[in-house]
Structure 1
């Protein structure tokens, strides 16, 4: 036994020894993008939790559309909401740091200052739900199966992974390409879901299924009604329930999601007590709908909480793979037909502001003309970016009249752009190019509640001479068409990181532009964009990171790859008064934690039942 242990130690030393003479080896309980950790080794729990939070009860919310799978990491099928809860990772993040991770399955991470490799030392007590140990071999398998059979985004993510090897049963080493995005590759490795190699010996990972997968996470499947509802139950035998990163978390016995085909039906179901928690994204309902009896009696609490994250990147996205969108003047003109000011006053009750940046509501948003630091990054890329990046302030959408959806001044300016791009008005009022082909576009959407927004936009496009149509499909069709890039214009929202990095390859990177199912919905494929993403990935200080992100933001905005919609830097939430949380007015900066750090108050729930507010 001692001989075997000694040999294992020698192997481990051999794996890291070549670099020890050249650079410092860091061994720690956590890792962050720029090296700073808030919580010291041996910390008791995260500051934002209630360590004495009671366990029990059900947290229920809603999902849009439908689902037919419990496999969230593959392209096939539409995975149920929250179906990632089955799986643990080597390390986990916190809600009060933008770029730090602490040990979960791994108790320690070891890496050189260059971050060209990372060794994770795993906890021997880690177990899958069937009682089998979580091993380094399972981690290697997880990497390989995601690379070979997972969503296409993983192949982009793993581009700079050179090798993954099990040094022994509880030690796994990731080696990265020396010229890769070394700042965050170790954290990408730390965040990979861990699958059981043995479990998938008799199952095809690439096939969607409603069989509950075997994981080592805090929850397992409770019940599933395909396309209608899914719920997960907290495991009493969860191996990591008392770890410091889990203290005060995973407080609900049941996590439940009820599915609805449209927002209005979902709202009516909430009023009737079909589910207990709702974050409201529809301004009409928020402004006019939350005065029903349960709100008036206090059974339902209605709150607005600050959101410390970037506001999200929401807009109408062009499919740049389509020839009609090759000319940026066409894209800019089509964007000008969307009258946000009218929509905000007439449809949204004035509660939104116009989005113009991909990092709205953050210090990474480009403003004015480029700074000297930005110019140092942009000048070498000048031939690949619009000249307006250098000569004009960061692009901001045209401001239209709120009094008339068809602002003639803005539409005339948009028409001139189309004329300049070679699209002239034909005898039937539809614009055609030199070959006589009409300027025809389809706006695709799967939500009935968006019709009141899209229809006026389409009408303005038709006033502009564009043969525009709105096509509404169901959620499953929409997801399938978006996966295959079978659309002209779609609405999509991305939640952007406070520390952007390698994930930008999947959203804006050229390698992902034609990968079916990728997050690069617009099909951006630009040398300058790829270069700036690489600069962001390799930034060594937050100041350098913010400069590079700002430069990327102004380039993307100048390219007119989308029609920005709106944002509100707050959470609008409503819930039956049976849930409590460890903060009053201000959530942790990275999220509200409603699924993880809130808890169920059994006495309040009983009082609601006694009053008839819920069943």
Structure 2
């Protein structure tokens, strides 16, 4: 999967430590037969949209005005600017000061397409067994020092040394080589994995000379530890000022080396980008209404329907705008921890889905604005439907004896509630499934006869707003004899408990790329199940799923990729690992009316604030920011 990186959200997983670091001068390098040609961009499926001679991408305004400030909100405080430290809370917005080797555009169906950022060229052989990146000769750090191949290799080694997620994600790298000052090579332990050359382009590059130097107190820096010393970067912004746990201000770098790159023209138009930290959703929204920050993405359908009637909306100073969300799929739901014996039986897991009344909850809580998730890739062409056929059926035949028979005979569909009649029928079916799993209903309690204990499920959550969904679900569970325990904890405790797998059930969301690949191993693969740093929260260990993940990773073309993903999706669904919840295929936004965006917006992102700009005429009408 080619990730649209943001330092404030979840990172990709990691790599296996390179077995050797070889310093080889270019003139002394052995001649390699049939050398692949250097390319300005690469894509998994076909040809990148933009040629090497374009001046800018189609969706930007190349003449966008420069200047002004935009204020953004972030959740939680921060006490570190070190993106590799495993302790401490990372400040929002750090992606602004760093760069990857390559970056995607925002308007290509093949979102795996990548274009040069720090690198101006990439090449790899037909079997994808290695990749080389060539650095742009103009790339430099904010102190004027050039970005070197040594920086790339050092960044790679530190990433896999310090971050278990990155180590897992880049685990196929077996060797690294500095070919010359501008060129690096990564060699892989397998051939045919088309995605491996691409994911190496996602590597954040850090300045070795700065991190191995000393601070203004003469103390040696330690990249393994959290720090509030503003770090050196190579990106379009640098840290101007900050107050720990409260705010951080980034200012545009006047002599930014990459301003004229095709991926940068028409972007990064603000002089300052400020992040303000909030600890509570309600307080944050009131701050938005009070003009304390400029741009709000509303993730609550209930709030979108009920809370956007205030003076600034009515007089036009705040603008609501909905953008289609075509960039990704998602599985959001009640993730069940299979490490608990009570969830080992798929009949128990399926019964919990029958007890969830999405339709009523959606109508009452979310004004009917949400859609039920029926796929691990909901909202994309990768979602399975109907019965398997063609390539997908051929793939599934390889694991026929390892998957539920319904995979071949029934289309997966969630139970439908919404009426008393439907809900009662669903709850009766849930009881049947629990009895099939060996439970007995006695005195209105679902009892495990082997232990005499009532089936109890603790739901772990950190946001009180989750109770709008949890409370009606709990009521249904109680009606069939299950004892729900709602456990509200603070953010740090929640993170620690999820990481240590100390939960029965919790609401989680796994975002999916339109080009799935190696990250599927981290989400659902057996090897990741026992890794506390992985995203295999459910603890899935299933050889059939491992096989299907490999089919996704080693797909040779788009048709094969879609078929393999459909097969994977179908098997995940019929194992009932998750009680699917809901999603929206829209991005609902509200903003103080001081900003403008291009007419030709990209299909796969709102692009805020990267391709937007400060509109002084609108700002004069709206009033100065407080």
TM-superposed CA distance for 1:403, in Å, is 5.4
Distance in 1 (CA, whole Å) between partners of 2:408 and 2:165 is: 32
TM-score calculated relative to the size of structure 1? 0.93
CA gap of 1:592–1:558, structure 2 versus 1, over 3 A, is: same
Cross-structure match for 1:58: 69
Deviates more, 1:329-338 or 1:65-74: 65-74
Distance in 2 (CA, whole Å) between partners of 1:560 and 1:208 is: 40
Aligned partner (choices 36, 53, 59) of residue 47 of structure 2: 36
Aligned partner (choices 95, 119, 124) of residue 132 of structure 2: 119
Give 3-state SS (helix, strand or coil) of 2:454's partner: coil
TM-score calculated relative to the size of structure 2? 0.91
Judge conservation of contact 1:156–1:506 (CA < 8 Å) in 2.
yes
1:332-343 aligned at under 5 Å gives the runs 332-343=350-361
Q: CA RMSD in A?
A: 1.9
Distance in 2 (CA, whole Å) between partners of 1:415 and 1:456 is: 18
Distance in 2 (CA, whole Å) between partners of 1:542 and 1:162 is: 27
Correspondence 1:498 to 2:514: yes
CA gap of 1:387–1:221, structure 2 versus 1, over 3 A, is: same
Correspondence 1:599 to 2:613: yes
Distance in 2 (CA, whole Å) between partners of 1:336 and 1:136 is: 55
Distance in 1 (CA, whole Å) between partners of 2:233 and 2:340 is: 41
Aligned partner (choices 298, 301, 314) of residue 332 of structure 2: 314
TM-superposed CA distance for 1:445, in Å, is 1.1
Judge conservation of contact 2:439–2:446 (CA < 8 Å) in 1.
no
Where structure 1 has 5 or more consecutive residues not aligned to the other structure, the ranges are: 1-6
Deviates more, 1:213-222 or 1:407-416: 213-222
TM-superposed CA distance for 1:428, in Å, is 6.4
CA gap of 1:66–1:328, structure 2 versus 1, over 3 A, is: farther
Judge conservation of contact 1:264–1:449 (CA < 8 Å) in 2.
no
1:51-130 aligned at under 5 Å gives the runs 51-97=62-108, 98-130=111-143
Judge conservation of contact 2:302–2:365 (CA < 8 Å) in 1.
yes
Distance in 2 (CA, whole Å) between partners of 1:268 and 1:369 is: 48
Aligned partner (choices 244, 252, 262) of residue 226 of structure 1: 244
Distance in 2 (CA, whole Å) between partners of 1:268 and 1:141 is: 44
Judge conservation of contact 1:262–1:449 (CA < 8 Å) in 2.
no
Correspondence 1:455 to 2:471: yes
Cross-structure match for 1:531: 547
Judge conservation of contact 1:153–1:512 (CA < 8 Å) in 2.
no
Aligned partner (choices 231, 244, 263) of residue 245 of structure 1: 263
Judge conservation of contact 1:582–1:597 (CA < 8 Å) in 2.
yes
TM-superposed CA distance for 1:454, in Å, is 0.9
TM-superposed CA distance for 1:249, in Å, is 0.8
Distance in 1 (CA, whole Å) between partners of 2:564 and 2:165 is: 23
Correspondence 1:207 to 2:225: yes
Judge conservation of contact 2:84–2:223 (CA < 8 Å) in 1.
no
Aligned partner (choices 198, 202, 218) of residue 191 of structure 1: 202
* Deviation digits for residues 234-261 of structure 1 (CA, Å, limit 9, x no counterpart): 2222221221111011112222222223
Cross-structure match for 2:21: none
Distance in 2 (CA, whole Å) between partners of 1:507 and 1:562 is: 13
Distance in 1 (CA, whole Å) between partners of 2:544 and 2:33 is: 34
Where structure 2 has 5 or more consecutive residues not aligned to the other structure, the ranges are: 1-23, 213-219
Give 3-state SS (helix, strand or coil) of 1:108's partner: strand
* Deviation digits for residues 91-125 of structure 1 (CA, Å, limit 9, x no counterpart): 11100121111111111112222221111111222
* Deviation digits for residues 178-221 of structure 1 (CA, Å, limit 9, x no counterpart): 34x62011111111000112223233323223322222112222
Deviates more, 1:456-465 or 1:550-559: 456-465
How many residues were matched structurally?
Answer: 594
Judge conservation of contact 1:60–1:275 (CA < 8 Å) in 2.
yes
Give 3-state SS (helix, strand or coil) of 1:39's partner: coil
Give 3-state SS (helix, strand or coil) of 1:347's partner: helix
Cross-structure match for 2:187: 175
Cross-structure match for 2:401: 383
Aligned partner (choices 165, 186, 204) of residue 177 of structure 2: 165
TM-superposed CA distance for 1:606, in Å, is 3.1
TM-superposed CA distance for 1:74, in Å, is 4.4
